[in-house]
Chain A
Amino acid sequence: MAIAIEYGRITGLINAPTRAPAITWDDTHGRYVGFTLVARNRADGQVKFTGNGRDSRDGWDVGWIQVAEARTNWGMYRGEKEEDGSVFVQRGGGSANRQRMCLDISRRRIIGDVFTRTKEAAPWCHCGIPTVPFPVTVALIEQDQPFDWYDLETKNALAKGRTNYLDEVQMEFKFCTVLSVRDSARTFHHLAHFYWSARWHYTFHPKRYSPKPEPEDWTVTPVEGGNGATMSAAYQFPPRDANLTRVLTAKHTLDCHGVVDLASQNTRPGGPGRREYADRNHKPDVRR
């Protein structure tokens, strides 16, 4: 009798709401505003295997695979005075980043692997089948808390290096998380999945410009309808979106750390994801 998957299912989902952005202001980390959830989202899953004691468990892996998409991620900066100009930073699906979907993994990616986690210790892992008698039920947990950030200030080279201050940020991240098994022949068996998302849209305004605004000198205002976190029900079957399943295990899919690094490079001065304007009140097309 060969090892077989009797079932795989998601047994619990917890969706954490978004939190209001928080301004950080210290010598080590700099001055920026961070965006995240109030806590980590959580997914619990189980996979049951059958087999007999002589079956080799080598090469069997069970874990989560997550695909992320950040189509919207931009920031707008404006100077104090008209002659200070404005700066638009595009990290999302505009010119800075043509790849929309990426594989979401911990940075310690084993080359060629696709599971979110590298730790071997259950339940936060992608793990092998434990060496206990069959049938074996493996319990897994995935916990996730997206984080992104924007500097509070930037220099506008087009306006003689004048300081431009953060004015508005909009971000939306979408995810599909899949409970999956890879067998010893390296074939994937996607067993269950769910979708979730988080979005933020805020305006920022310093109450004063001189001396430099401290954290308490910033007015942070949510844009109505622009903030929230959603999570679907658990679907106890593989994803049916062909575009999605193609990305899940394709070796050429860039991981999200690579996408972030690319966006970071592209939004440096002179990069395709950064546009500087002499006009303080410029209104860019945020889709580009």
Chain B
Amino acid sequence: MRLAALCALALLTSCGDHLDVKPIGRQEGRAQTAITIRSLDKPGAEIVENHGQSQTVRVHVEVEQRDGEKWKDTGTNVKLVERCTEAEADQTCRNLPAGARLTVAPWNGMDVGGQCPESHSIDENIGPGTFRFVVTSCDGKDRFEGDPFDMPGETPPPPYMPDAKK
């Protein structure tokens, strides 16, 4: 009897733990989507996961900024790549296989060169504000909207310019 009670207690405990775990693909308060975009540990660091069938999506990731009740495209150049040197960086669309998890090369808030190196003169930090990544299917019909995240407005030092050689 005591053993059964202990087992029941263990079962209840484990069930209680699982109550906090979100099933794959379910965003809190939103309908299930095949492709999710989740925020990682710091602003601008996102992971894209395909919970459905293999799908072709645009390499260009829209970075939207909250403007009151609306979201507007910032025109910032962010690509759906883990590394800037990937061949996919030069393509218009790429395949996301079923079950794929892609940790997007992080974006630092700059409107140009904020993810991968880009030749530029004028650049500006488009924060502070609340932003989200949006991945679009290659044919443009489907949009997958990511978790909102807050980005500060300070201009960060270029992450890819170490101290110059003397």
Contacts and interface: CB of A to CB of B under 8 A. Distances in A.
Interface stretch (A101-109, A127-135, A183-191, A232-240): A101-109
A260 interface: yes
Contacts of B113: 147
B111 A106 contact: yes
Nearest to B65: A108
A117 B124 CA distance: 8
Contacts of B120: 107, 146-147, 256-257, 260
Given A22-B162, A26-B160, A104 B84 contact: no
Contacts of B165: 20-23, 220
- Size class of B's contact patch? 20 to 34
B161 A36 contact: yes
B103 to A, nearest CB: 10
Interface stretch (B22-30, B35-43, B75-83): B75-83
A42 interface: no
A19 interface: yes
Contacts, number: 107
Contacts of A146: 120-121
Contacts of A119: 124, 126
A109 B75 contact: yes
A104 B119 contact: no
A49 interface: no
Contact of B160 (A34, A108, A173): A34
Interface string B63-105: 0000000000011110000111100001000000000000001
Given A20-B164, A107-B111, A109-B75, 6 more contacts: A22-B163, A22-B164, A107-B75, A108-B126, A256-B122, A260-B118
Interface of A: 19-24, 26-32, 34, 36, 66, 68, 91, 104-109, 116-119, 124, 144-149, 173, 175, 220, 256-257, 260, 263-264, 268
